[in-house]
């Protein structure tokens, strides 16, 4: 199958004619100690997890310091739904695949991410109500809208999982990287100010794009090369180029925007510039 056929066919097919789905066994086969390339695979997973934490650590610091977040409300709802589902997906995989350690670690990691998203959503109500909602909107209405939006995201992601035969959510997870490297950039551009963002976070977004979409060693490629290699899935890397370009533009935009005020709207001095 040539490159044009791959770009138009829309699904990775193996040599025997079967589709390249991602199962829990792929994790076991590529991440078991002693498996071919297992060190590189664990490095790829480790880098993805580290940068996945950093895209929350910096925003949490700025949320408390500046009382504004870099991510829009709907993105927090989306991530809460995805991470909550991820807990049960990886617990199920841990039980099904002989208690393979990585699945348990991923389930614990998902629980941590859900906790951070819960924090971000509560802070949106507390600190950003005047930005997100109309004046006079009650706390009950704010919470209800968050619950409804999160439920909508939860239903949609599971519908897509079913449509994609995505047992491990591995096909779905890459969209979390797509969104985190693009949405904050265009949100900052729309706002026209630096508050809620910082130089370090802009650099992290670039690193996320590089770690997630480079064609040599990334977490998705390490687990299922038959589905995520450049040859098998060129759309993955074309999307990655857009994400990288968006993240680089975000860094350029952040540098060009007016500097943060010495004292933020929260009454505190900005910690992260």
* pTM, two decimal places: 0.90
Residue 96 contacts residue 134 (beta carbons within 8 Å): no
Residue 113 contacts residue 56 (beta carbons within 8 Å): yes
The answer to whether residue 94 sits within a structural domain is yes
Specify the pLDDT at position 91. 96
Specify the pLDDT at position 11. 57
User: For residue 94, what are the domain limits?
Assistant: 47-256
Rounded distance between C-alpha atoms, residue 162 and residue 271, angstroms: 44
The answer to whether residue 10 sits within a structural domain is no
The answer to whether residue 8 sits within a structural domain is no
pLDDT tens-digit map of 40-59 = 999 999 999 999 999 999 99
Rounded distance between C-alpha atoms, residue 25 and residue 93, angstroms: 9
The answer to whether residue 12 sits within a structural domain is no
Residue 266 pLDDT class (50, 70, 90 cuts): low
Residue 187 contacts residue 12 (beta carbons within 8 Å): no
- Assess whether pLDDT exceeds 70 at residue 164: yes
pLDDT tens-digit map of 135-146 = 999 999 999 999
Specify the pLDDT at position 97. 94
Q: How many whole angstroms from its chain centre is CA 14?
A: 28
The answer to whether residue 9 sits within a structural domain is no
- Assess whether pLDDT exceeds 60 at residue 28: yes
Taking CB atoms within 8 Å and a gap of at least 24, the contacts of 185-194 are: 185/246, 185/247, 185/249, 185/250, 185/253, 186/246, 187/70, 187/71, 187/72, 188/70, 188/250, 188/253, 188/254, 188/257, 189/253, 192/257, 193/257, 193/258, 194/254, 194/257, 194/258, 194/259, 194/260
pLDDT tens-digit map of 117-136 = 999 999 999 999 989 999 99
Specify the pLDDT at position 33. 92
Is residue 12 helix, strand or coil? coil
The answer to whether residue 270 sits within a structural domain is no
The answer to whether residue 182 sits within a structural domain is yes
Please state the domain count of the chain.
1
The answer to whether residue 5 sits within a structural domain is no
């Amino acid at each position: 199958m040539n490159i044009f056929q791959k770009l138009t066919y829309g699904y990775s097919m193996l040599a025997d004619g079967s589709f390249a789905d991602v199962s829990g066994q792929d994790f076991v086969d590529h991440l078991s100690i002693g498996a071919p390339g297992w060190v590189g695979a664990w490095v790829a997973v480790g880098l993805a997890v580290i940068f996945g934490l950093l895209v929350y650590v910096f925003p949490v610091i700025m949320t408390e310091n500046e009382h504004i977040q870099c991510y829009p409300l709907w993105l927090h709802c989306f991530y809460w739904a995805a991470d909550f589902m991820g807990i049960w997906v990886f617990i199920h995989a841990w039980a099904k695949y002989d208690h393979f350690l990585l699945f348990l670690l991923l389930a614990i990691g998902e629980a941590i991410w859900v906790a951070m998203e819960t924090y971000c959503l509560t802070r949106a109500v507390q600190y950003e109500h005047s930005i997100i909602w109309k004046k006079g909107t009650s706390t009950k209405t704010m919470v209800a809208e968050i619950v409804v939006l999160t439920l909508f995201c939860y239903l949609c992601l599971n519908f897509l999982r079913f449509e994609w035969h995505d047992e491990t959510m591995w096909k779905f997870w890459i969209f979390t990287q797509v969104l985190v490297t693009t949405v904050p950039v265009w949100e900052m551009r729309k706002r026209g100010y630096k508050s809620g963002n910082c130089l370090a976070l802009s650099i992290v977004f670039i690193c996320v794009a590089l770690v997630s979409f480079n064609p040599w060693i990334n977490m998705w490629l390490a687990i299922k090369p038959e589905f995520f290699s450049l040859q098998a899935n060129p759309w993955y890397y074309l999307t990655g180029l857009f994400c990288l370009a968006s993240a680089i533009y975000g860094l350029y935009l952040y540098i060009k925007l007016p500097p943060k005020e010495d004292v933020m709207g929260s009454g505190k001095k900005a910690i992260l510039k």
